[in-house]
Structure 1
């Protein structure tokens, strides 16, 4: 047995510690439906830190992945400490009853349609709080996002390294309701 196989077998015998939660998506949809009206989101403290609609093409990824949209963040929930050169914070917030990020798709008539929600945990804050568990929602591990300076896109979308999880509540996603991009979402009507 070679060393690689031995290490693989040893590693597979230990359970990975995970911060795993299961969320009833119908209940979550009901909880956040009030934010279909962006003025309600603004009144509850959500802001658009930069007028950037995240699309796969814009991030240097295959265009057929689609888009995410405009990310309205809640600075209090994310405990924002800086917005330049990247958004940074102390958040280890994982409560899905009020997600820290609301995602809107710009419409042709200039309105915004709520399509998804997201929670975001800053990597340094998570590690600093001595949390070593993997974040998992409904069986899916959260994405780790960190910009790779050697690529043309911004893999962390203007944020410091973080973990995030999207939930497509109001737009069908053929790749899965917990995937970051959605081929059925677009930034085509965004006016920067």
Structure 2
């Protein structure tokens, strides 16, 4: 009951924020637009606080929790990709959702990501770098798995504060439980 009430309040707050900032966003291509777009993202992803809703809407869960391969602090959590939203620049349609273990056997939504393919597929050029929320995407980056194209990515830590910044790739406040990360390939 308390969880249902909390989710309903989160959704209501997100929708109210979206309604209040939408006129400002439409009139102002600057900071007001970024706030309005973030409010749209909150409103669109609030329903994914319930993990089953994300899966039902086509977000495919990865079985492994993702940490920084370079050994930096923090993690992404468990990525859930919906590849029909690859190349989306719509604040309401992120290509990925990130979850962490909630300590009760479930998953808690912590962040989202947009992924846009690099037009020329060259890591040495960036004349097609997209922006959202007044922030440039990171990249171009090589694919993270076989078959993934060279791409740009933008992470947004909406649902869990990232001490290093709202748009940083990894979040040091997100941790992966022991035994939940992808095993290293044997040599």
* TM-score, scaled to structure 2: 0.66
The structure with the larger Rg is 1
* Alpha-carbon distance between aligned partners in 2 of 1:77 and 1:30, rounded to the nearest angstrom: 17
In the alignment, which of 152, 159, 184 is matched to residue 173 of structure 2? 184
Would you say the 8 A contact 2:96–2:112 is kept in 1? yes
Matches within 5 A, 1:52-91: 52-56=64-68, 59-62=69-72, 65-78=73-86
* Alpha-carbon distance between aligned partners in 2 of 1:141 and 1:174, rounded to the nearest angstrom: 19
* Alpha-carbon distance between aligned partners in 2 of 1:45 and 1:93, rounded to the nearest angstrom: 15
Q: Which has the higher strand share?
A: 1
Deviation, structure 1 residue 162 = 1.0
* Alpha-carbon distance between aligned partners in 2 of 1:61 and 1:160, rounded to the nearest angstrom: 24
Consecutive unaligned residues in structure 1, runs of 5 or more: 1-20, 79-91, 148-155
Q: Which has the higher helix share?
A: 2
SS of corresponding position for 1:22: helix
Aligned residue pairs total: 142
Question: What is the RMSD of the two structures over their aligned residues, measured on CA atoms?
Answer: 2.4
Runs of 4+ deviating beyond 3 Å: 189-192
Whether 2:167 is the aligned partner of 1:157: answer no
* TM-score, scaled to structure 1: 0.65
Would you say the 8 A contact 1:23–1:96 is kept in 2? no
Would you say the 8 A contact 2:94–2:112 is kept in 1? yes
Would you say the 8 A contact 1:108–1:189 is kept in 2? no
- Sort the Cα spacing of 1:103 and 1:133 in 2 relative to 1 into closer, same or farther, 3 A: same
For 2:39, the equivalent position in structure 1 comes to 26
Would you say the 8 A contact 2:162–2:171 is kept in 1? yes
